[in-house]
Amino acid sequence: MPKILLVEDNEMNRDMLARRLEKRGYTVVIAVDGQSGVNLARSEKPDLILMDMSLPIIDGWEASRQLKADAAVATIPIIALTAHAMAEDREKALAAGCNEYETKPVDLASLLGKIEVLLRPPAQ
Amino acid sequence: MSRGLPLHWRLTLLITLVSSLTLGVAIGGYYWIEVQKIHTAVANNAGKVATQAARLVTENLERGERLPDDYFRLAFVDNENIQAAVVYEPKNRNRMAGGWIRAGSGASIGSLSSTYNLRLSTDWISGFLNQFSPETVYIQKPLRTGDGRLLGTLVLTAAASDEELSNLIEPSAVGMLVLLSMLGSLAASRFLQRGISGPIVKLAKVAHKVARDSDYTTRAEISDGGETGVLIDAFNSMLTTIQQRDAELVVAKNNAEQARERLADSHAKLEEINRTLEAKVTERTIEMHKAMTAAREANHAKSSFLAKMSHELRTPMNAIIGYAEMLIEDASDRDDKAAIQDLRKILSAARHLLGLINVVLDLSKIEAGKMDLYLESFDVWTFVHDVVPTAQPLIDRNKNQLKVDCAENFGQMRADATKLRQILLNLLSNASKFTDEGVVHLRVERDGSGPREMVVMSIQDSGIGMNGEQLGRLFQVFSQADKSTSAKYGGTGLGLAISRQFARLMGGDITVVSKPGEGSTFIVRIPIEVAPVRAGEDAPPTAKSVPAPAPVPAAGSAPSPSPASPPANRRGRVLVIDREPMQQALQEMLTADGYLVSCVTSVPDALTRGKEVRPHAVLFDLLAGGAAGAQWFAELKASPVFAGVPLVLLAPNSESHRGFAVGTNDIVTSPADGPALLATLSRFVAPRTENPILVVEDDNPTREMIVRMVEREGWPVRTAEHGEAALAQLATFTPSLVLLDLLMPGLDGFAVLRMMRETPAWREIPVVVVTSLDLNPETRQLLDQQAQKVLKKGSYSREELLREVRNSVSEFMRRRASSPPFSAAGAPDSSPKP
């Protein structure tokens, strides 16, 4: 099953999202800050990254930038989880290299749809 | 009397004349009176004598005696007054009976009648005084007897003697008297003058002095009374009047002067007040600005607080909703219906709360002017029928029916779909909320009657309706028809306020028609083509261009427009693709730096405009495309319109957009740092220069290719086919750059370069070497020292060449501006080039 790296500092959100994803069969790897997120992405090579933007140490935008700048992990799709409904944050996320975004509170159906699209093999 | 004589002389003459006349008359009168006295005496004497003589003669004649001849002589000879004495016979008056005439008297004795004509002979004095002398006195005495018989007539002639008369006046005495009297009158006149003319003359002097010195304090002396005194008095009083007037005049003049001074003073004060006022106005303006800034900051702080709070509230909501959903999933798995019901209530409440939070966030964004529009084109029919299913559960809740009227071929509109959807959902939800078992009717129509074509969506319900007072408060934040309404129907009343704000943001509005008991109709009007706007601004046209020379402020100042400016196209044309708010700042900045700027908001627009503008560079903000950024970028690169046109990308962070670097000339981190952006642009768009670029190349095709490339950029070009020709050209003009081939017949590129660097006038001219030679390190080092850049034929791109050209021309112009005379420039530029 696809492996998803969830980078989220808020414990409840992390726990809830991880459990719901796992319930749908995904393997979920957890990181609680931007820096460990980047590190885990490099070591675990997940199929997809769910990245919160407001993170300690380095924020989600910076982490995304670093990941997209690293050829080894640049191809891993990133879905930004923006708590801000502000459009700037969305655009900032896209500009930072994220492939998609989902506004918090997460609409699970919508998020699952996006995950599926991004995990679809490019041949299709 | 001459009128020209001085007064005192006139007076003297007058007095002398008058006194002389008086004297003459006095003397004459006196003489005449004396003569009359003598005459009277003579007459009396003669009368007496005649009476005596008549008695004697009568006695004689009575006696009949004849009178002795000597009788009269003897009788009258001693009486010197008697001139003659004759007796006429009574019968014959012409016959003398006897008589006597004094010898030498001149008297003649004729007949009695002629006797009266007797004249006394006179000498010269007597002759002079003849007119004054009394007539000779004739006394006639009839000689009668006692009985009355006339015996004859005695006639006696008497006259004053010459001696008597001549003694009467002494000529020398008279002359003396006259002389004395004249002297006296002179003296008198002198004396009189002192009293009469003296004061007048003095007065005249005083008057003259007054007239000459304008000294009105002088007074004439009053020496006596009378008319002179009156005159002097009058003169003095006139002087007093004049002096008084003069004093008044001086006072008036002083007053006028003071008034003038006061006026000037007032004027100065007024000016001072004006200045103060200006200062105050400035001060107040500054204060106002401060207050406004403070207010804006406060408002901003409030909005930012709300945004932050909303975020903080949203995070736990996220968890609540998420866990509730999870638990519902688990309960469904267990088929625990009771738990599902309760959990759904939690979920519903949580979602409602989240909705409120979202609304608050939206409101705060609108208030902060941060609410942006994300415009997209969409099919209206599809849009409406996407919304309906979402609204359906709300409609069904009160057992209402939803009727939709929208033409399937309605066509497209361009608006913020998310916000329009929110508006529509809100209005449908409202309509259904206040209607039970009724009909909610949604109609979508076009309205082309106004200046802009509008899409009109009306939502009519058959609900409870509203009265005027309720309608008035309808769109206010947190306002429902009344408290009981809110209790019965729920909701916060925020939805309508937000909806209207959204509609207005899109250049439209929401209106309502309602009557209590007859339902309400909400009408949404949105332009079919919504203009991109910043919140709170009027909609500008979708694409703006600035063809007119735009103002350029002095170098180093803020990019605010300033009237005095060089032509805007001195640098070149730049096409900016960015969102509306960004455009303005970029346009100002670029225009200020001398670019001619055209702005569009999208790449499709850019492709159209690009054909007209033919820009020297394109500035593309990746964020302008939003999610379509990458696609737009691809379109931009694929378009033949911009083939070969330098593209500068504005991106949030250059590292994250490495993918775009291929085919991009440069990436500038946004928000654009002014100097960095200008520096980047100037590398691709060189300043316009009148100094041509000299292309020195012996190979015709290569030369022509380079010339075309450079000319396309808008620079003037000159060519030289070999080294000698290049030096000849250099002697006639100063190129802004020399593009130099190395291998040429005759004088080669090395020689030309060396000569240029050795000649002070050419030392500063930049040189870019374009060569096909494989250079050994020594040669390369030498060239690096002498030329700005060495490009290897076949290995450089067109862009690379043009970049070098731009850089070098910019450098040339910069240096030229700082040290105009070339020959006076310092050492050759031998700094190593990268």
How remote is the C-alpha of B238 from its chain's centroid? Answer: 52
Mean pLDDT score of chain B: 76
- Ranking B61-65, B242-246, B330-334, B671-675 by mean pLDDT, the lowest is B671-675
B76 shares its domain with B150? yes
- State the Cα–Cα distance between residues B827 and B834, nearest whole angstrom: 20
B363 shares its domain with B270? yes
Residue B419 has pLDDT above 90, yes or no: no
- Ranking A7-16, B30-39, B310-319, B339-348 by mean pLDDT, the lowest is B310-319
Q: List the single residue in B with minimal CA-CA distance to A64.
A: B656
Closest CA to B629 of B656, B597, B611, B609: B656
- Whether the CB-CB separation of B379 and B411 falls below 8 Å is answered with yes
Closest CA to B703 of B731, B665, B741, B756: B741
**3-state SS, residue B142:** strand
B496 shares its domain with B508? yes
- State the Cα–Cα distance between residues B191 and B197, nearest whole angstrom: 10
- State the Cα–Cα distance between residues B534 and B579, nearest whole angstrom: 10
Residue B198 has pLDDT above 70, yes or no: yes
Residues of A in contact with B315 (CB under 8 A): 10, 13, 83, 104
- Res B125: pLDDT: 45
**3-state SS, residue B205:** helix
- For the stretch B814-834, pLDDT in tens is 777 665 444 333 334 444 433
Q: Is residue B6 part of a domain?
A: no
Task: Give me the DSSP letters along B330-360.
Answer: HHHHHT-HHHHHHHHHHHHHHHHHHHHHHHH
Residue B233 has pLDDT above 50, yes or no: yes
- For the stretch B522-548, pLDDT in tens is 999 999 988 875 434 433 333 333 333
- Res B541: pLDDT: 35
Work out the burial of residue A57: count CB atoms within 10 Å of its CB; fewer than 13 is exposed, 13-18 middle, 19 or more buried. Answer: middle
pLDDT band at A31 (very low <50, low <70, confident <90, very high): very high
- Res B53: pLDDT: 81
**3-state SS, residue B510:** strand
Q: pLDDT above 70 covers what percent of chain B?
A: 80
Q: Which of B684, B708, B736 is the last residue of a domain?
A: B684
- For the stretch B104-121, pLDDT in tens is 665 555 544 444 443 333
Work out the burial of residue B465: count CB atoms within 10 Å of its CB; fewer than 13 is exposed, 13-18 middle, 19 or more buried. Answer: buried
**Distance (Å) from the C-alpha of residue A107 to the closest C-alpha of chain B?**
8
- Ranking A99-113, B465-479, B812-826 by mean pLDDT, the lowest is B812-826
- State the Cα–Cα distance between residues B30 and B23, nearest whole angstrom: 10
**Distance (Å) from the C-alpha of residue B530 to the closest C-alpha of chain A?**
18
Does any CB of chain B come closer than 8 Å to the CB of residue A25? Answer: no
Q: Do A105 and B318 touch (CB under 8 A)?
A: yes
pLDDT band at B754 (very low <50, low <70, confident <90, very high): confident
Closest CA to B67 of B89, B94, B91, B49: B89
- Average pLDDT estimate for B202-219: 81
- Ranking A36-50, B398-412, B501-515, B778-792 by mean pLDDT, the lowest is B778-792
B669 shares its domain with B710? no
- Res B564: pLDDT: 35
Q: Topology of domain A3-119, per CATH?
A: Rossmann fold (3.40.50)
- Res B653: pLDDT: 62
- Res B822: pLDDT: 42
pLDDT band at B478 (very low <50, low <70, confident <90, very high): low
B806 shares its domain with B728? yes
- Res A124: pLDDT: 43
Residue that the structure tokens 């638990």 belong to: B327
**Position A5: which residue type?**
L
Q: Are strands B509-515 and B519-527 parallel, antiparallel or unpaired?
A: antiparallel
Strands (DSSP E) along B496-607, which ranges?
Answer: 509-515, 519-527, 544-545, 572-577, 595-600
User: Which among B303, B313, B318, B649 is the top mutation candidate for probing chain A, defined by the most A β-carbons within 10 Å of its own β-carbon?
Assistant: B318
Residues of A in contact with B321 (CB under 8 A): 105
More confident residue, B154 or B261: B261
Q: Which of B321, B345, B370 is the last residue of a domain?
A: B370
Least CB-CB distance to B655: which of A12, A17, A65? A65
Q: List the single residue in A with minimal CA-CA distance to B361.
A: A85
- Whether the CB-CB separation of B129 and B165 falls below 8 Å is answered with yes
Structure tokens at B145: 């007897």
More confident residue, B821 or B465: B465
B632 shares its domain with B701? no
Residues of A in contact with B322 (CB under 8 A): 12-13, 16-17, 20, 105-106, 108
Closest CA to B84 of B50, B114, B107: B107
**3-state SS, residue B620:** strand
The number of folded domains in chain B is 5
- For the stretch B333-359, pLDDT in tens is 888 888 888 888 888 888 888 877 777
Q: Which of B684, B707, B740 is the last residue of a domain?
A: B684
pLDDT band at B493 (very low <50, low <70, confident <90, very high): low
Q: Is residue B539 part of a domain?
A: no
- Res B118: pLDDT: 39
pLDDT band at A3 (very low <50, low <70, confident <90, very high): very high
- For the stretch B421-442, pLDDT in tens is 889 988 888 888 888 888 899 9
Domain limits for position B780:
693-818
Work out the burial of residue B535: count CB atoms within 10 Å of its CB; fewer than 13 is exposed, 13-18 middle, 19 or more buried. Answer: middle
Residue B209 has pLDDT above 50, yes or no: yes
- Res B486: pLDDT: 47
- DSSP lists the bridge partners of residue B444 as B457
Annotated domain spans of chain A: 3-119
pLDDT band at B154 (very low <50, low <70, confident <90, very high): confident
Q: Is residue B535 part of a domain?
A: no
**B439 CB-near residues (< 8 Å, 6+ apart):** B400, B401, B402, B403, B461, B462
More confident residue, B690 or B524: B524
C-alpha distance across the termini of chain A, in Å: 18
Residue B95 has pLDDT above 80, yes or no: no
Task: Report which secondary-structure segment, H or E, holds B101.
Answer: strand B96-101
Closest CA to B157 of B103, B106, B126, B118: B118
- Average pLDDT estimate for B240-259: 87
**B342 CB-near residues (< 8 Å, 6+ apart):** none
Q: Is residue B141 part of a domain?
A: yes
Residue B671 has pLDDT above 80, yes or no: no
B363 shares its domain with B232? yes
Q: Is residue B715 part of a domain?
A: yes
- Whether the CB-CB separation of B769 and B742 falls below 8 Å is answered with yes
How distant, in Å, are the alpha carbons of A123, B69, B102, B288, B731 from that of B82?
204, 17, 8, 147, 161
Closest CA to A8 of B134, B226, B95, B319: B319
- For the stretch B274-296, pLDDT in tens is 888 878 877 877 887 788 788 87
Contacts A–B by Cβ distance under 8 A: 76
- Res B442: pLDDT: 92
Q: Do A10 and B315 touch (CB under 8 A)?
A: yes
- What CATH number has the domain bearing residue B643? 3.40.50.2300
- Average pLDDT estimate for B82-91: 77
- Res B542: pLDDT: 34
B592 shares its domain with B678? yes
Q: Is residue B521 part of a domain?
A: yes
Could you say which DSSP state residue B104 is in? T
Residues of A in contact with B323 (CB under 8 A): 12, 16
- Average pLDDT estimate for A90-115: 83
pLDDT band at B69 (very low <50, low <70, confident <90, very high): low
Residue that the structure tokens 């100065």 belong to: B268
Q: pLDDT above 90 covers what percent of chain A?
A: 36
Residue B800 has pLDDT above 70, yes or no: yes
B523 shares its domain with B588? no
**Distance (Å) from the C-alpha of residue B689 to the closest C-alpha of chain A?**
38
Residue B383 has pLDDT above 70, yes or no: yes
How distant, in Å, are the alpha carbons of B318, B373, B410, B413, B526 from that of B417?
25, 9, 16, 9, 11
Q: Is residue B506 part of a domain?
A: yes
B107 shares its domain with B244? no
Residues of A in contact with B316 (CB under 8 A): 12
How large is the angle between the packed helices B674-684 and B798-818, nearest 10 degrees? 110
- State the Cα–Cα distance between residues B206 and B239, nearest whole angstrom: 10
B679 shares its domain with B554? yes
Residues of A in contact with B626 (CB under 8 A): 91, 94
- For the stretch A36-93, pLDDT in tens is 999 999 999 999 999 998 888 898 889 999 998 888 888 899 999 876 555 667 778 8
Task: Report which secondary-structure segment, H or E, holds B771.
Answer: strand B767-771
- Res B523: pLDDT: 93
B704 shares its domain with B779? yes
Residues of A in contact with B329 (CB under 8 A): 20, 23
- Whether the CB-CB separation of B71 and B59 falls below 8 Å is answered with no
Q: Do A86 and B370 touch (CB under 8 A)?
A: yes
- State the Cα–Cα distance between residues B771 and B744, nearest whole angstrom: 10
Q: Provide the H-helix boundaries in chain A.
A: 11-23, 34-44, 60-69, 87-95, 108-119
Angle at B287 between CA B285 and CA B293, to 5 degrees: 100
